[in-house]
Amino acid sequence: MNLNIINKIMKNFFLFVFMILFFVDVVCAQSDVYLSLSLCATGKRSDIAIEYFTVICKNDNTTRFAKLLKEVIENDLIFSRYFNILQGVPENSELDFKERLLWWEKQGASVLLTGSVSGEDDNIILEVKMFDVITGETIWKQKYKKESLSYRYMAHEVSDEVVRRFTGEIGIARSKIVFVNNGTRFKELYIIDYDGYNLRRLTKDNKINILPKWSPDGEQIIYTSYLYNNPDLFVLSLTKNRRSIISKYQGLNVTGSFSPDGKKILLTLSRGRYPNLYLINTSGEILQRMTDGSCIDTSPSFAPNGQEIVFISDRPGYPQLYIMNIDGGNVRRLTTSGFCDSPVWSPRGDKIAFTMRQARGNYDLYVYDLPTAKITKLTNNQRNNENPTWSPDGRFVAFYSNRSGKGEVYIMAIDGSGIRKLAEVPGSSYTPSWSPVLDR
């Protein structure tokens, strides 16, 4: 053996490793300093301690809010799956701050979150502080005022900031989900916070409204409505509290997807022929016919880069997933079997979630990983699982399932774990669409 050569290789190897480490360091140093860069979607969780929120100028209101705000934040951090929440120091504990830190350190906490609530009537002020348990240093502190927004929104703001400080990723606590529910015997649109609170009805048409989809800025929802006895495309402006019709060709005007810049909409039109994909602007003018033929082409979803779309087509004889460029070129088939539908491109751009019919006739959710072309099954034969929609951070999927015997919306992590029901809502619910993070 030639030791010299081995030596050289080793030297080069170390140089290489050193350069990688250096490079990683430089890249990381450019962004904010985060508490833990190793945390990612599937990484290990951080242990965070949350103490009872203290109350300054005690009255019924502040005491109540201290409890509620802590509950909401805790819930958010648990939902985020970035954290283990540690609790334990009893309320009104006699321990001083140093002793408490020591106590938390023994419990395995790396940071401690505290809050204090002050203010009168509805003008609640929440001051949160985050401490390094070992050194006792304040890592971050901020005051939040309630003003016109709800206390839940205020708490969600805190949670999203905690997530950002820990991971550098956006938190999703200020997002909402729009869906269809038939509790009135008609199909109406409803909106709800991502954690299942603040359910609100958006339409009162006594007609069939289906397939709502958010605009990228979170200010509008497009949907298909039979208000005028034909599936027309409507837009509902949440800021102006007004709705209008965008596309009303005879026959299908079926919701597809907003372009990432919010200026264009993909939809399915029949126009007296077979259902094909079209690109329109937000005032409904057709910009481009995307597909052309006597097959069913429908369910389009934009890639986050705005350059490609995924859709289904039954050109092989049954509906399959296809990708093509926005100019109509480079058509590629992704799936090879099963009836597929409802593809949605992930916000990170690397995955497509969709539903596929199983041998026994029910539908299950899958995720297609674009870089590896690997398909992973997310749900497992619990009746039908359809219409997936991505959380704004791309780590969760909300979807329709009738596993309980009626249609309901569920949320799970993208590895299929941690399934929870969004909320208990009378009637059956369908076709959820997850908003971006909303700043109001």
Q: Which residue ranges make up the site for another protein (CB under 8 A)?
A: 187, 208, 210-211, 226, 228-231, 248-252, 254, 268, 270-275, 285-289, 291-296, 298-299, 312-315, 319, 327-331, 339, 341-342, 355, 357, 361, 363, 386-387, 430-431
DSSP labels, 114-136: EEEEEEETTEEEEEEEEEETTT-
What Å distances lie between residue 266 and 14, 227, 262, CA to CA?
A: 51, 21, 11
CA angle in degrees (0–180, nearest 5) for 180-369-35:
85
Pick between residue 342 and residue 391 the one whose CB is nearest to another protein.
342
- Residue identified by tokens 């409802």 is 342
Pick between residue 218 and residue 231 the one whose CB is nearest to another protein.
231
Residue 413 CB, nearest approach to another protein (Å): 23
> For the CA atoms of the chain, what is the radius of gyration?
25
What Å distances lie between residue 137 and 202, 339, 368, CA to CA?
A: 47, 57, 44
Residue 376 CB, nearest approach to another protein (Å): 20
Pick between residue 33 and residue 287 the one whose CB is nearest to another protein.
287
Question: How many angstroms separate the CA atoms of 353 and 20, rounded?
Answer: 33
Residue 47 CB, nearest approach to another protein (Å): 42
> Distance between terminal CA atoms of the chain?
69
Residue 186 tokens, joined: 């008609």
Residue 321 CB, nearest approach to another protein (Å): 12
Q: What residue type is 24 in one-letter code?
A: V
Residue 270 CB, nearest approach to another protein (Å): 5
- Residue identified by tokens 């954690």 is 195
Residue 385 CB, nearest approach to another protein (Å): 11
Residue 355 tokens, joined: 């539903």
Pick between residue 159 and residue 355 the one whose CB is nearest to another protein.
355
Residue 243 CB, nearest approach to another protein (Å): 17
Question: How many angstroms separate the CA atoms of 370 and 345, rounded?
Answer: 10
Question: How many angstroms separate the CA atoms of 323 and 262, rounded?
Answer: 20
Element (H, E) at 425: none
Query: Which of 230, 211, 231 minimizes the C-alpha distance to 222?
Result: 211
DSSP labels, 248-272: --SS-EEEEEE-TTSSEEEEEE-TT
Pick between residue 149 and residue 331 the one whose CB is nearest to another protein.
331
Residue 325 tokens, joined: 């460029």
Residue 80 tokens, joined: 């985020």
Residue 204 CB, nearest approach to another protein (Å): 18
Question: How many angstroms separate the CA atoms of 439 and 45, rounded?
Answer: 27
Pick between residue 36 and residue 230 the one whose CB is nearest to another protein.
230
Pick between residue 162 and residue 356 the one whose CB is nearest to another protein.
356
Residue 276 tokens, joined: 């094909």
Question: How many angstroms separate the CA atoms of 51 and 112, rounded?
Answer: 8
Element (H, E) at 70: helix 60-80
Q: Within 10 A of 98 (CB to CB), how many other CB atoms are there?
A: 9
Pick between residue 33 and residue 331 the one whose CB is nearest to another protein.
331
Judge residue 242's burial from the number of C-beta atoms within 10 Å of its C-beta, 0-12 exposed, 13-18 middle, 19 or more buried: exposed
Pick between residue 200 and residue 332 the one whose CB is nearest to another protein.
332
Pick between residue 123 and residue 330 the one whose CB is nearest to another protein.
330
Residue 38 CB, nearest approach to another protein (Å): 39
Residue 312 CB, nearest approach to another protein (Å): 7
Residue 280 CB, nearest approach to another protein (Å): 10
Pick between residue 80 and residue 313 the one whose CB is nearest to another protein.
313
What Å distances lie between residue 99 and 52, 106, 114, CA to CA?
A: 16, 11, 15
